Amino acid sequence: MNERGDVVSREEQRRAGVSRGALLHHFPTHEDLLAAAVGLLVERNEEAVRKEPAVTAPGKERLSRSLRVLGSLLRSPSYGAELELWAVARTNPRLREVLRRAEGAVRRDLYRVLGDVLGPEATAAPGYPLVAELTVQLLRGMAISEVLHRDDAGREALLERWGQIADSLLAAAPPAPSAPTGEEEPR
């Protein structure tokens, strides 16, 4: 994977210093290589989140700061590369199956990172599963929307408003028992 997140197998082969046969042994299909790339992208994204000082800062504003950090992460080139793979998978059944398998681990990692970022006080709240699911869906939707419409002020205002709503959901009584947890199969 190059710095922009592009998967270029010959370039990767050269940079890794491996033969074509070795590359094909580890990644028999282009789809397998792309699935491995998703894992690498997730690692890069998680590393970027952990480096952000706002994530570790204590205090009442932690939720708002954390949402901004996560929102900026989903605007990164590596997350954009993930979205591009999803778009290709729409019309490539083999890639779609490979990505669905890879997505199971990715999804668990995403929810684990979200829990780490929001902190134990948030994750212990009865409304946390609902807040986590809605946060992930909101951030993904925002990342996709930014492909055509970049509105920094609007995004910041939306994240601020969602932070207020999430705060109230975390403080409220538990949601309905069927609230998503991030553990179910990807849609």
Do residues 101 and 35 lie in contact, with contact meaning Cβ atoms separated by under 8 Å? yes
Section 39-61 average pLDDT: 66
Q: What is Dmax (Cα atoms) for the chain?
A: 58
- When pLDDT is cut at 50, 70 and 90, the band that residue 4 belongs to is very low
CA 26 – CA 105 distance, rounded (Å): 19
In this structure, what is the dihedral angle of CA atoms 39, 2, 17, 11, given to the nearest 10 degrees?
Answer: 120
Classify 168 as helix, strand or coil. helix
User: In a 10 Å sphere around its CB, with 0-12 CB exposed, 13-18 middle and 19+ buried, how is residue 4 labelled?
Assistant: exposed
**For 91, which DSSP code?**
T
Percent of the chain at pLDDT exceeding 70: 78
Of 74, 95, 100, nearest to 187 (Cα)?
Answer: 100
CA 23 – CA 153 distance, rounded (Å): 45
The string of pLDDT tens digits covering residues 69-128 is: 787 777 778 778 878 888 888 898 888 888 787 777 777 777 887 888 888 888 999 999
- When pLDDT is cut at 50, 70 and 90, the band that residue 182 belongs to is low
Answer yes or no: is pLDDT of 2 > 60: no
pLDDT score for 3: 45
Burial 116-150 (b: 16+ CB within 10 A, else e): bbbeeebbebebbbbbbbbbbebbbebbeebeeee
The string of pLDDT tens digits covering residues 165-180 is: 998 898 876 655 555 5
Section 54-72 average pLDDT: 68
pTM for this entry? 0.68
Answer yes or no: is pLDDT of 8 > 60: no
Section 16-36 average pLDDT: 74
pLDDT score for 125: 92
pLDDT score for 58: 56
Residue with the two structure tokens 């199969």 = 185
